[in-house]
Each structure stands twice: as structure tokens, then as C-alpha cells.
């Protein structure tokens, strides 16, 4: 069934119609599935659980991409308007965004520019029918990490996603910085103004999470989901998270005049510089 879903999605994207069981049977009887869909020659691999947001107004393409990416092991969310996509990127955190440019409500470039003003970490792959060199240059200059033209092959899209997620935004892989705070992700060492902060493993993870998303409000639910892998919240972790944050705030801010860690009542936490 999983193979059928992948092939059906590929066929729908390539031909603009739904692949029925009859079409699927005919494909099997003709030149062979692996010849028609070369990406299957390499086998189907389960990806690390990355979060991907698809912002695409063509519902058929969006639905097919969701099927394929979920089948590959990604956690997928989708939006069919620019406003809905803009709302999602401002209320959740994603590893990668697949972004159409021609969207109702708010254009893809507007979304990309707004995202890059406050977030240099989230990867963005533009997927669009706009195929001129000028369009590609504008998209990449606005902060996109890759650019693909419709129609496209699912196998190539999956390959590009794997490369982007494996590579990440290379300048920030090993070190994170904010104000006078410096985090070495390899040594798992945090320093503020050159002084080593004695953090537990979980405190370091929380601090790195906040720095990665500096300037954004981070809810307790997001921390529970992404750092404790607690998705159901059947056992609330709010008290545990608050204890960790209190200890982390003492270690990060106590001996320094400028406070970086802030709690917003009813919202969550944010790392930011104090207003002058």
C-alpha cells in the first residue's frame, strides 16, 4: 500500500490526474515500476524525523507531497494560502519549508523575506512554475536555500531535501551565538562574555533551542515536543520545564547586567536583548 501511495503521488504530480488502481496495474504490466520511477531503484529509506512545512496553493500537489513526505518519515504540515503559511511559520518551528511563490493572500517572496528577517536557521526550498533566471536569482537572493521548477520529479525533490537537511545552514552547524553568549555544539560548552557556564545536558539543550530561535516566543509545548519528544502532553511537563528554565536563567543571567532569558506569562519563553 505504501508503494502504491508513493507511485500514485508521483503520477499525479507528473500527469495532473489521479493514479487509479487500473493505471497502477497497467504500469506494472508495462516497462516495470523501477524503470518508470528511478527513485525506487535505491530503495525507500526512513528519514530522521524532520519537520517540514509545505506552502502550496495547488491542493493536488500539496496533498501528493504530504503523502510522499510522510511516507519518507517526515513530520509534515501544509498551508494552501500565503496567510495560512505565514501564520504557521510564526507559531511553530520547522526544519524546512517548501514554498510556492504565487500564493493567494501573501506571496512566497513576502513570506521568505519576513522569515529571513528573524530566522536564518530554517531551510527554504522554493517550488514554483516561475522559471526565468531572474526569478531564480531573486528567490535565492531573498534567502532561499534551493529553487526547483514545476513540473518536477519527486525523486529529485527528495534528493534535494536530503542534501539540504544533511548539510543544514553550514555556517551555523558547529557554533551558535547571541549577544555575548557563545555555544560550542561539538564540545557542548556554553560561554557568556568568555566565562564558561556550568550547564547540565538538558539545560544546554534548552539554551541551544532558544538561541536557534532567537527573538521568537517558545512555548512549553514546543520544548516538551522537541526536547522531551513528548507529543501527547498526556503527562504535562510544564513544572519540569519551569524548574529547568529557572536554573538556566540563574546561570545565564545572574552575574551579568543585561538579562537575556525572559518569561512571557501565558506564552512561554524568549531569548532577546533588553530594550534600551
Whichever domain contains 211, its CATH number is: 1.10.10.10
Same-domain pairing of 19 and 142:
yes
State the cell numbers at 141.
537572493
Whole-number pLDDT of residue 273: 87
Do 158 and 187 lie in a common domain? Answer: no
Q: What is the pLDDT of residue 18?
A: 45
Residues 113, 227, single domain; the answer is: no
Q: Any idea what the CATH number is for the domain that residue 27 is in? A: 3.40.50.2300
Note whether 10 and 135 are same-domain residues: yes
Residues 190 and 106 in one domain: no
The alpha carbon of 226 is separated from its chain's Cα centroid by a whole number of angstroms, namely 12
Burial (0-12, 13-18, 19+ Cβ within 10 Å), 116: middle
Q: What is the spatial distance between Cα 10 and Cα 63, in angstroms, rounded to a whole number?
A: 11
- Asked, for residue 93, whether it belongs to a domain, the answer is yes
Same-domain pairing of 222 and 257: yes
Query: In which domain, by residue range, is 237 found?
Result: 174-271
* Within a domain: 156: yes
Please give the pLDDT value at position 231.
66
- Which cell numbers hold the place of 97? 519549508
Run means of pLDDT, 10 residues per run, the chain, 276 residues:
46 46 42 39 48 95 94 93 92 91 93 84 92 91 92 92 79 76 90 95 94 87 84 73 95 94 90 81
Contacts 24+ apart (CB under 8 A), 88-93: 88/53, 88/55, 89/53, 89/115, 89/119, 89/122, 92/51, 92/53, 92/222, 93/51, 93/122, 93/213, 93/216, 93/222, 93/226
Domain tally, the chain: 2
| Beta carbons within 8 Å of 187's beta carbon, 6+ residues apart | none
- Domain co-membership, 201 together with 98: no
Q: Write down the pLDDT at residue 227.
A: 86
Of 137, 154, 170, the one marking the end of a domain is 170
> Three-state SS for 177?
strand
Of 131, 147, 170, the residue that ends a domain is 170
Q: Does residue 84 fall inside a structural domain?
A: yes
Does 139 lie in the same domain as 13?
yes
Asked if 210 and 103 sit in the same domain, the reply is: no
Same domain, 220 and 262: yes
Distance (Å, rounded) from C-alpha 169 to C-alpha 236?
33
Regarding pTM above 0.95, the answer is: no
Task: Mark whether 144 and 178 lie in a shared domain.
Answer: no
Provide the 3-class DSSP secondary structure of residue 191.
strand
Q: Within this chain, do residues 103 and 192 fall inside the same structural domain, yes or no?
A: no
Is 94 within a domain?
yes
Does residue 276 lie in a domain region? no
Q: Count other C-beta atoms under 10 Å from residue 241's C-beta.
A: 21
Residue ending a domain, among 152, 170, 188, is 170
DSSP 138-184: HHHHTT-SEEEESS--HHHHHHHHHHHHHH-SGGGSSEEEETTEEEE
Element at 76 (helix H, strand E): strand 75-79
Cα–Cα–Cα angle for 140, 144, 149, rounded to 5 degrees? 75
Amino acid at each position: 500500500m505504501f508503494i502504491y501511495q508513493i507511485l500514485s503521488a508521483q503520477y499525479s504530480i507528473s500527469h495532473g490526474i489521479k493514479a487509479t488502481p487500473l493505471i497502477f496495474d497497467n504500469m506494472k504490466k508495462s516497462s516495470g515500476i523501477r524503470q518508470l520511477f528511478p527513485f525506487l531503484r535505491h530503495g525507500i529509506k526512513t528519514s530522521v524525523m524532520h519537520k517540514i512545512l509545505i506552502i502550496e496553493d495547488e491542493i493536488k500537489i500539496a496533498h501528493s507531497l504530504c503523502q510522499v513526505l510522510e511516507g519518507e518519515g517526515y513530520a509534515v504540515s501544509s498551508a494552501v494560502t500565503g496567510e495560512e503559511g505565514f501564520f504557521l511559520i510564526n507559531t511553530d518551528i520547522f526544519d524546512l519549508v517548501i514554498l510556492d511563490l504565487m500564493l493567494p493572500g501573501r506571496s512566497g517572496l513576502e513570506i521568505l523575506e519576513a522569515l529571513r528577517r528573524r530566522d536564518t536557521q530554517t531551510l527554504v526550498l522554493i517550488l514554483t512554475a516561475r522559471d526565468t533566471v531572474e526569478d531564480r536569482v531573486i528567490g535565492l537572493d531573498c534567502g532561499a536555500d534551493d529553487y526547483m521548477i514545476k513540473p518536477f520529479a519527486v525523486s529529485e525533490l527528495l534528493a534535494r531535501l536530503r542534501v539540504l537537511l544533511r548539510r543544514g545552514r553550514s555556517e551555523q552547524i558547529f557554533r551558535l551565538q547571541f549577544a555575548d553568549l557563545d555555544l560550542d555544539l561539538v564540545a557542548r560548552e556554553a560561554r557568556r562574555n568568555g566565562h564558561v557556564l556550568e550547564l547540565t545536558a538538558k539545560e544546554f539543550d534548552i539554551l541551544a533551542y532558544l538561541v536557534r530561535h532567537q527573538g521568537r516566543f517558545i512555548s512549553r509545548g514546543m520544548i516538551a515536543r522537541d526536547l522531551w519528544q513528548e507529543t501527547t502532553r498526556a503527562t504535562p511537563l510544564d513544572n519540569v520545564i519551569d524548574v529547568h528554565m529557572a536554573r538556566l536563567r540563574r546561570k545565564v543571567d545572574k552575574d551579568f547586567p543585561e538579562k537575556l532569558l525572559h518569561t512571557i506569562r501565558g506564552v512561554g519563553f524568549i531569548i532577546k536583548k533588553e530594550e534600551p
